[in-house]
Structure 1
Amino acid sequence: MPRRPPSARARGLGAELRDLRLGLGKTSRAVAEGLGWSPSTLSRLENGLRGITVEDVAALLVVYQVTGPERDRLLALAREVDRPGWWETGLPGLPNQLTALIGFESQAERITEVGMLLVPGLLQTTEYARAVMVGGDVPAHEIEARVVTRLGRQALLSRADPPELHVIIDESVLRRPVGGPAVMAAQLQHILTAASRPTITVQVLLSALGAHLGTAGSFVLLEFLKAHAIVHLEHLRSSLFVDEPGDVAPFMQARDTLAQQALDPTASADLLASVADEYQGR
């Protein structure tokens, strides 16, 4: 059974504690030995893989000589580490990987969605999301709860401090009539509206490009202010996170290459509007 992914809050707090240690030039072994811990314990704590307690953080802050408001802030973060988000309450049955993804999205500074088959979830309309669920053979009694969850994820785009969202989609996504012409016309108009926000960029990869790095599969790249970037890969019945920096690097390179190959945002908007008009004329 795959391990439960670390929470976004735990990864963020762990990254801050690691930065404090590195800023003082201390090795993880020296800090761990001074506290009577094993080096692996400290490593897992800094990577969000081990439950962080307020006592753990308080002990580390003594070693790092952190006092005053900064100490209070970090201890407050420690108290919040295990507080469930909205996606972890009231919606039973959501897979651990999905709840982890939503948590990471809520903490990310920048999100890149490379979509080769469908409109990424953060930009889906209600009717499009419902059609995806129906076509994906989701049990009828679960569809509405999953649609609500998907739409709930989008609230982060309207926050006072939203993450940057960069969406790169294949032209085939625009032309796949999920839900029928009316649903697709509304969906493409929704993308156009979203793309008008200063924090959202949408680019389209033309089918005429032929093979490119995106044809290897869709992925979500999440980048954080402190913690290492991670990648989410979704499959038919499972999904996984890639979090080792060496494994994440090729996805970051693929993002950059695909952004160069795709239409620029203005040309992409023109294509989206043109295809939306085609659907409206059917």
Structure 2
Amino acid sequence: MATLVATPRSRALGFGIRAARTARKLGVRELARMARVSAQDLSHWESGTRVPQIEQVALLLGALRVEPVERKRLLELARNAREPNWLERTTPGISPAVSTYAEYERTATEMVNWEPFVVPGLLQTPAYAEAILAAHRLPPRVVEQQVAIRLRRREVLSRPHPLVLRLFLGEEAFRRRIAEPAVLAEQFHLLLRAAQPRNITIRVVPTGAGYHLGLYGHFVIFDFAHLPSVVHIEHIRGSAHVYDGDHVVAYRAAAEAMSALALGEQESLALIRGVIAELE
């Protein structure tokens, strides 16, 4: 019997195969018949828990008539699918990395997010997102697409079995004037509303909290019901997906250390209200 894998690359490969299949409006069994593979194997490949042979991936992509650029990307993922960690290069505009991250959010049961300087995309207002994306000098059409994607991603927080989000925000995220006061006030009001459901907790790590491992930068820990956890780290032109057990343990320890330094939930919300009062 094949060994379960579920590395970041194997999951990204599965996300890509499923996206191509749904774009063609094919069911798992229908595609399996076309590619002459078992529906069970295809299901495992799409979830990333097993890795198909290169020839099988090529056969699937041919049956789905996948475009050359995406075909090359998926075949490269298949060749290296068993490697535990993954440094992914991205390109300006809509990148496959966006889809990979969104799929982590969609399939995770819990997410621990540390953001030292900005509100994360999952909870951004359109105006706040546009202010951030403006720094990338993207075409207006691409900015509009990016904002729409961020709004759709938020559905994971209100679905029947919602994603549990533990968000740690650095106080600097509230002090840095990255947009007009009215835009910032609207954004921080959204955070107050977002903190009402019990599946979302927002805590602020004060600037004066002293040294902690979160000072090395942003990270997200995704936990899944039946798959190993993944840590996501974003860079200017790429992303790292960390799956190795020791690495995940280290990031989880960093999150717990920040939890000890952060303000309590009510204290954090009081700080946000104070910042809103200053802006308005």
**Are 2:95 and 1:95 aligned?**
yes
- Residues in 2 aligned to 1:162 and 1:9: alpha-carbon distance in whole angstroms: 25
- Residues in 1 aligned to 2:49 and 2:96: alpha-carbon distance in whole angstroms: 16
Cα drift, residue 230 of structure 1: 0.4
Q: Which TM-score applies when normalising by structure 1?
A: 0.68
| Preserved contact between residue 189 and residue 276 of structure 1 (Cα < 8 Å) | yes
**SS of corresponding position for 1:145:** helix
Structure 1 equivalent of residue 49 of structure 2: 48
**SS of corresponding position for 1:6:** helix
Greater shift, 137-146 or 121-130, is seen at: 137-146
Instruction: Give the direction of change, closer, same or farther, for the CA distance of 1:9–1:167 in structure 2 (3 Å limit).
Output: farther
Q: Which has the larger radius of gyration?
A: 1
Cα drift, residue 227 of structure 1: 0.7
Deviation by residue 1:178-197 (Cα, 9 ceiling, x = unmatched): 22100111111100100011
Cα drift, residue 245 of structure 1: 1.2
Cα drift, residue 208 of structure 1: 0.9
For residues 17-56 of structure 1, the aligned pairs below 5 Å read 48=49, 50-51=51-52
Instruction: Give the direction of change, closer, same or farther, for the CA distance of 1:195–1:46 in structure 2 (3 Å limit).
Output: closer
For residues 148-163 of structure 1, the aligned pairs below 5 Å read 148-163=148-163
Deviation by residue 1:20-59 (Cα, 9 ceiling, x = unmatched): xxxxxxxxxxxxxxxxxxxxxxxx999636149xxxxxxx
**Are 2:211 and 1:211 aligned?**
yes
**SS of corresponding position for 1:5:** helix
For residues 150-229 of structure 1, the aligned pairs below 5 Å read 150-229=150-229
Structure 2 equivalent of residue 30 of structure 1: none
Cα drift, residue 142 of structure 1: 1.1
- Residues in 1 aligned to 2:112 and 2:103: alpha-carbon distance in whole angstroms: 15
| Preserved contact between residue 115 and residue 169 of structure 1 (Cα < 8 Å) | yes
- Residues in 1 aligned to 2:176 and 2:197: alpha-carbon distance in whole angstroms: 25
Deviation by residue 1:67-112 (Cα, 9 ceiling, x = unmatched): xxxxxxxxxxxxxxxxxxxxxxxxxx63222211111110101011
Structure 1 equivalent of residue 9 of structure 2: 5
Structure 2 equivalent of residue 66 of structure 1: none
Structure 2 equivalent of residue 133 of structure 1: 133
Instruction: Give the direction of change, closer, same or farther, for the CA distance of 1:96–1:48 in structure 2 (3 Å limit).
Output: farther
| Preserved contact between residue 97 and residue 240 of structure 1 (Cα < 8 Å) | no
Cα drift, residue 8 of structure 1: 6.9
- Residues in 2 aligned to 1:262 and 1:236: alpha-carbon distance in whole angstroms: 27
Structure 2 equivalent of residue 271 of structure 1: 271
Structure 2 equivalent of residue 63 of structure 1: none
- Residues in 1 aligned to 2:140 and 2:219: alpha-carbon distance in whole angstroms: 27
- Residues in 2 aligned to 1:102 and 1:196: alpha-carbon distance in whole angstroms: 23
Percent of matched pairs sharing the same residue: 30
Measured on the aligned residues, the alpha-carbon RMSD in Å equals 2.6
| Preserved contact between residue 116 and residue 218 of structure 1 (Cα < 8 Å) | yes
Cα drift, residue 164 of structure 1: 0.5
Structure 1 equivalent of residue 117 of structure 2: 117
- Residues in 2 aligned to 1:129 and 1:196: alpha-carbon distance in whole angstroms: 22
Aligned length: 208
Instruction: Give the direction of change, closer, same or farther, for the CA distance of 1:147–1:47 in structure 2 (3 Å limit).
Output: closer
| Preserved contact between residue 9 and residue 107 of structure 1 (Cα < 8 Å) | no
Greater shift, 270-279 or 136-145, is seen at: 136-145
